[in-house]
Amino acid sequence: MTEAFGPRGRIVVGVDGSPQSVAALRYARTLADALGHAVEVVGAWQARTSFEQYAPTNWDPEADARAVVDQAVREAFGDEPPAGLTVRMEMGSPTQVLINASEGAEMLVVGTRGRGGFKGMLLGSVSTSVASHAKCPVVIAHGTM
């Protein structure tokens, strides 16, 4: 357990704004409430270097990603987010950001597939990779709760 959360542990949730990640948020809250842990929402962002020359000068990929995550939190919880909920944004590949965030966590929750998922796939590449490499137990939330 980490000092930042006192005696409580943390359940990390990967969020990209997809319906599956909103379901993962809701499921993580259920787990956190039952286990007495805090929920830490983690979002990742990457600059699209090949498109930078075409991007508006005021384009802020981190702010755009944060807006997507904030909207997913509102969609999942409305005006009643879990007590102690935190949001962390990091630059990097979603897989590596979530693997790093899993260090010291009690659990990592992700959706079955995110924004890049192909219809019909059981699991996306991020959920498959984090299930194999996370530093804590991983729950893959199926469906849309």
pLDDT tens, residue order, the chain (145 aa): 344 544 579 999 999 999 999 999 999 999 999 999 999 999 999 876 655 566 566 778 889 999 999 999 999 999 999 988 999 999 999 999 999 999 999 999 999 865 544 444 445 688 889 999 999 999 999 866 5
CB 91 within 8 A of CB 45: yes
Query: Residue 80 and residue 144: Cα distance in Å, rounded?
Result: 19
CB 58 within 8 A of CB 3: no
What's the whole-number average pLDDT of the chain? 84
Query: Residue 136 and residue 140: Cα distance in Å, rounded?
Result: 13
CB 99 within 8 A of CB 49: no
Query: Residue 61 and residue 140: Cα distance in Å, rounded?
Result: 27
Single pTM value for the model: 0.83
One DSSP character per residue, 73-127 reads: HHHHHTT-PPTT-EEEEEES-HHHHHHHHTTT-SEEEEES--TTPPTT-SS-HHH
**Token pair belonging to 37:** 């842990």
User: What length is written for the chain?
Assistant: 145
Q: pLDDT tens digits for 26-53?
A: 999 999 999 999 999 999 998 766 555 6
CB 13 within 8 A of CB 30: no
